[in-house]
Amino acid sequence: MTTETINESLDDTHNDDHHDHKMTGIKRWLYTTNHKDIGTLYLWFSFIMLLTGGALAMVIRAELFQPGLQIVEPDFFNQLTTVHGLIMVFGAIMPAFTGFANWMIPMMIGAPDMALPRMNNWSFWILPFAFAILLSSFFMESGAPNFGWTFYAPLSTTYSNGSTAFFVFAVHIMGVSSIMGAINIVVTIMNLRAPGMTYMKMPLFVWTFFITAYLLIAVMPVLAGVVTMLLTDTYFGTSFFDAAGGGDPVMFQHIFWFFGHPEVYIMILPAFGIVSTIIPAFARKKLFGYSSMVYATASIALLSFIVWAHHMFTTGMPLFGELFFMYCTMLIAVPTGVKVFNWVATMWRGSMTFEVPMLFSIAFVILFTIGGFSGLMLAMTPVDFQYHDTYFVVAHFHYVLVTGSLFSIYAGAYYWLPKWTGNMFNESLAKWHFWCSLISVNLLFFPMHFLGLAGMPRRIPDYALQFADFNKWVSIGGFAFGLSQLIFLAVVIKCIKGGEKAPAKPWDGAEGLEWTVPSPAPYHTFSTPPKVD
Amino acid sequence: MNRGNQCWLMGAWLLLTSLFSSSAWAETQLNLTKGVTAVSREVYDLHMLVLYICTAIGIVVFGAMFWSMIFHRKSKGAKAADFHESTKVEILWTAIPIVILIAMAVPATSTLISMEDNDNSEVTIQITGSQWKWHYKYFDQDIEYYSVLSTPREQYENQNGSFAGNGAEKSEDYLLEVDRPLVIPANKKVRFLITSDDVIHSWWVPAFAVKQDANPGFINEAWTNVDLPGIYRGQCAELCGKDHGFMPIVVEVKSAADYDTWINEQNALTAQAADAELASLSASMSKDELMQLGESTYMAHCAACHQPTGLGLPPTFPALKGSAVAVQGSVADHISLVLNGKGMMPPFGKQLSLKEIAAVVTYERNAWGNDTGDLVQSSDVKAAGEE
């Protein structure tokens, strides 16, 4: 794709001085309708949530450092695992991607802003309230939700503690925020593309967010439905999930995972987009198989709607159901494989350099693929009976979500930081962040495979003695990984404060409209749309 | 040296010793268990098959990546080629994975079909999960009992914030031991009917490759046929509340002859227990006897929620010390609550003998400063149950 802009940079800076009615202080951030400000808010919020969820995880790992209950009560342990999961999924990973969408999609498609800027403001600003409500339950007499982030009924209904209503309300707000964010992305991409930018000329990054937004619009209402049923079962005497009243607790799992499985792809498709942008830039070679990447992304999204029950093989499904969901799940390996092969083919015979965004992207491809392998193993129903609800599953989804989604977020953050701040980041400090994270994250999650295979169930505060050795090392990896993330904070703060000035295009192999505007990107970009050939 | 430094050194030393004290623990297992049934061995073979396939794919894919990272780097003067599309290649790497997947799906399907074949069993046992114990009921026999964790609380409740030195005093099967294991015969097809009294649990014994959820209000089926007599251990696999980590499963597999002997013993014991129940009605126990039996019963069945101190974990699990039920309320109401349960509290009528209920109610009304002086006898419990 070749791009050309009309007198972009000079004209733009001139125009910007006119339009730049930024408010000052806190009001700028509260009232902002600017996609870059809102993107920044999303990214900072998600990083704060990452540290919060990480702090909870470190208490979990401290408790699991040795057999015996040393630090927390079992019930509080369950609260920690529950809120850790909810915060990381809804507070860290998803808002980070929405932040990327806000910052980059208008700049990549040559739009002046998101299509619905006021809604954009609202969809961000309700999020802090959602998480304040969720976290406040830690300070209530009953404690925080303690039924796991998957909140299976009836543990989350009849047998829940007193804070369930707060949990339900918080999830509703998160859902509203996500739906609004997703609608905004869809409307922006459909209507505000620069003249000449047809769908098949959009950067793959934009494609993955486009498809993800549709997934969100499809499944967040399902989540809203299931938490509402949970609410009425708990407080209003309905029996959706209670056999005594004609309901079925397994129906809860069907509805939850009908949301939950597409949700998994909501958290990984944007990662594919980011990595597909970065690898070509540092291999100095166009992305291999652009159109097959688009089709593979769409196939993964469609398949995600017909595999949900692979989370439920042990619930007592009929043989036919088990076979259907096993075959469909195995099929997902095909488009996912295509993606991995395309990334490798992009690197093949390129001219590679290894700046930090590339390091994180390469680590993403390798470690995400390891997560994919364990996913393939889990897809095999007979063996899933052994893996299910063990640390093998914990290892699997952390490889996909931490070394997958989170690493892609870091890759993207380092890639676009010069564009966002106008300064280059400190390369050697960033490399420390990468190498410390890479080593510690594998110490943290790789031995979990062994723990799961040896038979350690997940979500237990104490364990039998044969699991002691690995848990010790896992905990050490956990502390090291948690602390390593503070290096990232240092890199970002240093980069905002100053550093070598970044040119408009700091990476010589980078492509796309965002590199045609100056660094830092002016407050308003593409007030006049560029022309794309 | 000041105190602060000493603390640091102490901490560092404890950390180091605890890091390298692995010999103190049981043997570390790396791979999936092969198990002791035909099904579990098939499952293990499938696991190894997929593992080898993944390893092979990994070597090829990561090999190609590392090759290009080493040889196609700019610092070595590599010039980028400009190919970026090939329908042939895309079709090839769509087709090859499909073939591999089919090769995996075929054996997986046949194993799955045999796992789901619950017909023609020789022994049927109903397994009921509840917070946080398992109940086993043998069909066609008069045998049923609860199976609870037997690791003493002192071994795991060491909440002194210390990381050091509390590994040694744990028993060998720490957290994987129960008071009464499930007993099944070897070389017979045993069918399990699995359900739950409260939340969802999951009955899992890795050596049998059986993991089946226990859903309240529904019955799931699973089966096994074990070759080798022995003791096999597992755990509840589905988060079921506070003590999810403390409801292990132990299965003792006996040879056919030993199993028959065991069944006869159990039937005799059931008969004896019924006689004892009758005898206890006319007997009167002293306060000391009641308090002693009451304390042991309380620790086994009540302390998980109401805590050994009687202080409970409010607001979910109410305190008994000075409570309305145990102090101000009538003895009859107290007995009825224990017999029939209420809300999250399970009914204990079918779990405990009349004597045990009498003792535990006496204990609750007189322990922790609840000095009501009330004594409850088996006959009182019987009377309350008949109301």
Chain segment B204-233, per-residue pLDDT in tens: 999 999 999 999 999 999 999 999 999 999
> Phi/psi at A203 (nearest 5 deg)?
-60, 150
Residue B185, classed as helix, strand or coil, is strand
Please judge whether A68 and B175 are an interchain contact, meaning their C-beta atoms are less than 8 angstroms apart: no
Co-location of B257 and B302 in the same domain: no
Query: In this structure, which amino acid lies at residue A468?
Result: A
* Residues of chain A neighbouring B160 (CB-CB closer than 8 A): 70
Domain's final residue, options B230, B253, B276: B276
Domain count, chain B: 3
Inside any domain, residue B5:
no
B202: domain CATH number? 2.60.40.420
Note whether residue B20 is domain-resident: no
Q: How many CB atoms are located within 10 Å of the residue A91 CB?
A: 25
In this structure, what DSSP letter does residue A516 have?
G
User: B307 lies in a domain?
Assistant: yes
Token pair listed for A80: 């920690």
Query: Does A113 participate in catalysis according to the annotation?
Result: yes
Is residue A265 among the annotated active site residues?
A: yes
What's the angle, vertex CA A222, arms to CA A219 and CA A228, rounded to 5? 150
C-alpha to C-alpha distance for A491 and A414, rounded to whole angstroms: 9
Domain that holds residue B247: 123-276
| Residues forming beta bridges with residue B133, ordered by sequence position | B130
Query: Using CA atoms, how far apart are residues B184 and B265, in angstroms rounded to an integer?
Result: 14
Angle, CA of A324, A330 and A332, to the nearest 5°: 110
| pTM beyond 0.95, yes or no | no
Write down which residue in B276, B299, B316 finishes a domain: B276
Q: Tokens representing A176?
A: 């509203």
What is the predicted pLDDT for the residue at A314?
96
Give the CATH number, domain containing residue B320: 1.10.760.10
Neighbouring CB atoms inside 10 A of B80's CB total: 17
Q: Collapse the DSSP code of A66 into the 3-class scheme (helix H, G, I; strand E, B; otherwise coil) and give the result.
A: coil
Question: Are residues B95 and B216 both part of a single domain?
Answer: no
Instruction: Report chain B's C-alpha Rg in angstroms.
Output: 29
One domain, residues B45 and B103? yes
Residues B328 and B195 reside in one and the same domain = no
Is the pLDDT assigned to residue B319 strictly greater than 80? yes
> For chain A, what is the largest distance between any 2 Cα atoms, rounded to a whole number of angstroms?
71
Which residue, A73, A86, A97, A181, is CA-closest to A134? Answer: A86
Closest residue by Cα to residue B129 from A155, A151, A146, A143: A155
Cβ pair B32:A386 closer than 8 A: yes
**AA letter at B95:** A
SS3 annotation, B224-261: ECECCCEEEEEEECCCCCCCHHHCEEEEEEECHHHHHH
Q: Tell me the torsion sign for CA atoms A472, A476, A482, A485.
A: negative
Instruction: Assess whether A310 carries a catalytic annotation.
Output: yes
B363/B291 same-domain check: yes
DSSP secondary structure string for all residues of B37-72:
BHHHHHHHHHHHHHHHHHHHHHHHHHHHHHHHHHHS
Which chain A residues are closer than 8 Å to B109 by Cβ? 323, 326
Q: What is the pLDDT of residues B80-122, one digit of tens each?
A: 888 888 999 999 999 999 999 999 999 999 999 999 998 999 9
Q: Do A381 and B108 touch (CB under 8 A)?
A: yes
What is the residue whose two structure tokens read 């499930």? B182
Residue A227 parent element (H or E): helix A204-235
Q: What is the pLDDT of residue A236?
A: 95
Mean pLDDT of B351-373: 88
Question: Tens digit of pLDDT for each residue in B304-318?
Answer: 888 888 888 887 788
**Domain annotation covers residue B61:** yes
Query: What CATH number has the domain bearing residue B37?
Result: 1.10.287.90
Residue A150 tokens read as 């998957």
For A72, half-sphere exposure in the C-beta direction (CA atoms, 13 angstrom radius) is: 23
Write out chain B residues lying below 8 Å of A83, CB-based: none
Q: Which amino acid is at A261?
A: H
Substitution target in A385, A446, A450, A471 with the highest count of B β-carbons within 10 Å is A385
Selection from A448, A485, A533 nearest residue A46 by Cα = A485
Q: Which residue has the higher pLDDT, B65 or B354?
A: B65
Q: Choose, out of B29, B70, B87, B344, the residue to mutate when testing the contact with A (most A CBs < 10 Å).
A: B29
- B258 and B136 in a common domain: yes
Residue A17: per-residue pLDDT = 45
Query: What pLDDT is recorded for position A20?
Result: 58
Say how far apart CA A279 and CA A510 lie, in whole Å.
9
Q: Do A155 and B29 touch (CB under 8 A)?
A: no
* B201 and B306 together in one domain: no
Q: What is the pLDDT of residue B155?
A: 84
Residue ranges, chain A, pLDDT below 50: 1-18
Q: Looking at the structure, do residues B259 and B370 belong to the same domain, yes or no? A: no
Query: Average per-residue pLDDT in chain B?
Result: 87
B169 pLDDT above the threshold of 80: no
Q: Show the tokens assigned to A53.
A: 């969820």
Q: Judge if B175 and B307 occupy the same domain.
A: no
Question: Quick one: average pLDDT of B249-272?
Answer: 94
Q: Give me A348's structure tokens.
A: 């093949």
Q: Hey, what's the torsion of the CAs at A436, A441, A442, A448, to 10 degrees?
A: 150
